[in-house]
Amino acid sequence: MRVLTGLQPSGKLHLGNYFASIKQMVEAQKSEDMFMFIANYHAMTSVSDAKRLRANTLEAASAFLALGIDPQKSTFWIQSDVKDVLELYWILSQYTPMGLLERAHSYKDKIAKGISANHGLFSYPVLMAADILLFGSDVIPVGKDQIQHVEIARDIAIKFNNEHGEIFKLPTHKVDENVATVPGTDGAKMSKSYGNTIDIFADAKTLKKQISSIVTQAVPLEAPKEWQNCNVYNIAKLFLDQIGQEELQKRYERGGEGHGHFKMYLNELVWEYFSEAREKFGYYQSHTDEVAEILEAGAKKAKEVASNVMEKVREATGVY
């Protein structure tokens, strides 16, 4: 079964990226045919500075490798290294009803947040459909807010297949209900656009500052505290097994500790959990030639799959 996923290099990776997506990728590559790419074309809808996009792309590649993406087990590449995706994007546009895109929640949400409306933002789901369909993907791990994009890809594929035969596989989405939404420092979904992230590879000072900014209730030190809706607890539990969660719950209920103590504990959890990855990240950041070779090899594998699909698409549509 082929599992495909991509992440935008639109900024530093945070805990939300890891627990909602990257961790599942690392686990999936042990048993599935994992295809994973850095979505730099998609990132252009939010990053317009060339130098920043280039730097973010290489930094994201280093981060994914450091966090456990294994190029020997996964096909790992940069989206723009497989140009077939743009050709398929244009071809699929001919099979995409305007109403389908006008109903896209993501476009409406981003416009409501003040992001400038343009064709790239509007047609984003078609490019995502091209990403999915180009590689014969079976399963697409997504957050709840991305389910509709997979459904749009299915709708486009069905319309194309109805006209030309069974060329595209129909993908299905997969959501891990336990970690579909990771809370940020303000309790809302952790997101760079909300400015509420805890960054994976932050230095010690920055990490402490980010964790210290987590919003908590004002409760006397000696009083018991509610863990169920505590932002600190809801992030900390992601790092803990059942026994660890229960022990932390008892500390909340016992009283005698303030939220500052729990923030210090969370800081220790995060720093220790990513200690090995932090060392690897530093290595890849200083060995960019090695990273480039890994991405080039991944792109070659991805192109082979894409070429087979595009040969059928071109034949079906009459593209010379």
Helices (H) and strands (E) in the chain, counts: 16, 5
Residues linked to residue 34 through DSSP beta bridges, in sequence order:
3, 74
Distances (CA, A) of 40 to 82, 149, 172, 240: 11, 17, 23, 33
**Side-chain half-sphere of 244: how many Cα atoms within 13 Å?**
12
> What is d(CA 45, CA 32) in angstroms, rounded to the nearest whole number?
31
Burial 149-168 (b: 16+ CB within 10 A, else e): bbebbbbbbebbbeeeeebb
Burial 190-226 (b: 16+ CB within 10 A, else e): bbbeeebbbbbbbeeeebbebbeebebeeeeeeeebe
Give me the active site residues, please: 110, 189, 192
Whose tokens are 């989405």? That residue is 173
Do 24 and 176 form a contact (C-beta atoms < 8 A)? yes
Q: Please give the sequence-ordered ranges of beta strands (E in DSSP) within the chain, or none if there are none.
A: 2-7, 33-38, 74-78, 139-141, 172-174
> What is d(CA 132, CA 150) in angstroms, rounded to the nearest whole number?
8
Nearest partner of 5 among 196, 181, 175, 190, judged by Cα = 175
SS3 at position 20: helix
> What is d(CA 177, CA 179) in angstroms, rounded to the nearest whole number?
6
**Degrees, nearest 5: CA angle 191-192-197:** 70
